[in-house]
Amino acid sequence: MDQYGIDMQVLGHGMYPATEVTVAQVIKTNNQAASAIDKYPDRFAAFAALPFTNITDATNELARTVTQFGFKGTMINGTVNGKFLDHPDFFPLLAKAEELGVPIYLHPAYPAEDISKHYYEGGFSELVSFTLGSTTAGWHWETGLHVLRMIVSGIFDKFPRLQIIIGHLGELIPFYWERIKYWLEPRVENLKKPVTEYFKTNLHITTSGYTTLPPFELALKTFGLERLIFSVDYPFNPLAPAISFLNNLPLTDNQKAQIAGQNVLRLLRI
């Protein structure tokens, strides 16, 4: 962080599937993050890991970490037992996040086995199969779909103050924006406002994993400067290209500062 000029890092976790860990293991993970924050309070913050053995445990752990440690929200990796967050099982958790005023970072994870078997396996190596289903395509498509499902199911009408963060410059949604507006929006009649309007009130987009200009420019035009947050994908991607990308964006210093820190400081109340 010192080498690359990063003042504060919001720590996430790579725990998935979340149903295969115990409550005690998740508590230990969060306590470890809390210890790092306690030691370096000006350098670290964190998103909570949650135990999805049942929704009550997950909801209680979110409340504990936010109220006891000052965690800034939670990171959820993909679906839980094949269920998207629009499922009624998750309503208590979404209500608690809204009540606490903290966002949910919806991070990709490998698609369910019955999906991946048909879509990403074939006459190529296991590594190629995994890559097709994850970092190249599969989990980005699924995360974009996850967000659209939450919108069209009325989640943000039910929980209007709930905030969701997604990475990778919008998980392909900017590319499909015209199609969403033309095909999906007119067919969804149960919402209080058009589908795309929820991105202005309930969604935030990070740059994680992307360091080239064309997708950034598309995301900027789609979502607007106030919804974009700089993020690194460390340790999965090196820091240097991400920092260089930020420094060389064709924006004013004030605009860079907004993406680099001001937007997320406001969202996470740091």
Domains of the chain plus CATH, in order, are 9-268 (3.20.20.140)
Contact 207, 231 (CB under 8 A): yes
pLDDT in tens, the chain (270 residues): 999 999 999 999 876 666 678 899 999 999 999 999 999 999 999 999 999 989 999 999 999 999 999 999 999 999 998 899 999 999 999 999 999 999 999 999 988 888 888 999 988 999 999 999 999 999 999 999 999 999 999 999 999 999 999 999 999 999 999 999 999 999 999 999 999 999 999 999 999 999 999 999 999 999 999 999 999 988 888 999 999 999 999 999 999 999 999 999 999 999
Report how far Cα 13 is from the mean position of its chain's Cα atoms: 12
Q: In angstroms, how far is the first alpha carbon of the chain from the final one?
A: 18
Q: Is 14 exposed, middle or buried (CB count within 10 Å of its CB: 0-12, 13-18, 19+)?
A: exposed
> What's the rounded Cα separation, in Å, for the pair 207 and 195?
22
